[in-house]
Amino acid sequence: MIFRQLFDRESCTYTYLIGDDSTREAALVDPVRDHVGRDLVLVADLGLTLAHVLETHVHADHVTGAGELRKQTGCRTHVAREGGAPCADDALDGGDVVRLGAIELRAIATPGHTGGCMSYLVGEKGRFDRVLTGDALLIRGCGRTDFQEGDARKLYHSVREILFALDPGTLVFPAHDYRGMTVSTIGEEKEKNPRLRDGVTVDDFVAKMAALNLPPPAKIDMAVTANRACGDEPVLLRQG
Ligand code: FE2
């Protein structure tokens, strides 16, 4: 499997490029519009063909590259049905699978940060050794739950009952990191995540999340509207 982690400095977003060694089909997960050029050069350098773009959710902090990538390559775009992005070619439900040759990206519904958050379990030949957790589970943290249908109780359930039920050795690749961390494991987060580790009750978690009092992301109005249209230009112009 070809697996690359790419970074956007402005929003601290990770984009993942995943490709099949033999068919050379590839997918980008959570591409950032400002980096479409960089991502397509890497796809070409590695001799890959971009077949799919997947979002872990409708983002509030950056504009997706999905629409532009689709325009340039003809790839298919996928967003959770609950995400409210009718521009996508495929509305994903939990359990849906996107295939790249022998590689499977299995969608797991992990709502709570937004109503339509998907994590993607990634593997081949029935062996799933990594999970892209979007903003549901971050390294020693989690996504905020105070906008876009955020719901701390749902997020607690998604992380504790769904993600933490995966094999403890499963590698965790989040959608963001603000401190330079790149990868963790399910077992490590179960033990060390200060918000969601073993012993934290749902009521503790809800209280912690309510006390965060974070300012809204700088680009939220523009980004959410643009991302519901897959980041395509006309919406950006209407939004100024
Ligand atoms: Fe997010």
Write the pLDDT tens digit of every residue in 173-212. Answer: 999 999 999 999 999 999 999 999 999 999 999 999 999 9
**Where residue 216 falls among pLDDT bands split at 50, 70, 90?**
confident
Q: What is the CA radius of gyration of the chain?
A: 17
In eight-state DSSP terms, residue 138 is B
How far, in Å, is the centroid of ligand 1 from the Cα of 61? Answer: 7
What is the whole-number distance in angstroms between the Cα of residue 125 and the centre of ligand 1?
Answer: 31
- Residue 138 CA to ligand 1 center (angstroms) comes to 11
Is residue 234 predicted with pLDDT exceeding 80? no
Ligand 1 center from residue 198 Cα (angstroms): 24
**What is the 128 CA–ligand 1 centroid distance (Å)?**
24
Are 43 and 75 in contact by the 8 Å Cβ rule? The answer is no
Say if residues 238 and 69 touch (Cβ distance below 8 Å).
no
Report how far residue 25's alpha carbon sits from residue 22's, in angstroms, rounded to the nearest whole number: 8
CA 143 to ligand 1 center in whole angstroms: 6
Give the containing element (helix H, strand E) for 223. Answer: helix 220-228
| Distance of CA 218 from the midpoint of ligand 1 (Å) | 13
Reported pTM: 0.95
pLDDT > 70? residue 217:
yes
Dist. CA 224 → ligand 1 center (Å): 10
The residues, any chain, with a CB within 8 Å of residue 165's CB and separated by 6 or more, are: none
Q: How far is the CA of 222 from the centre of ligand 1 (A)?
A: 14
Residue 238 has what pLDDT? 35
Checking if the pLDDT of 125 tops 90, the result is no
pLDDT of residue 126: 87
Max alpha carbon distance in the chain (Å)? 49
- Whether 236 has a pLDDT exceeding 50, the answer reads no
CA distance 54 to 73: 14
- Between the CA of 84 and the centroid of ligand 1 the distance, in Å, is 14
- pLDDT confidence of residue 233: 57
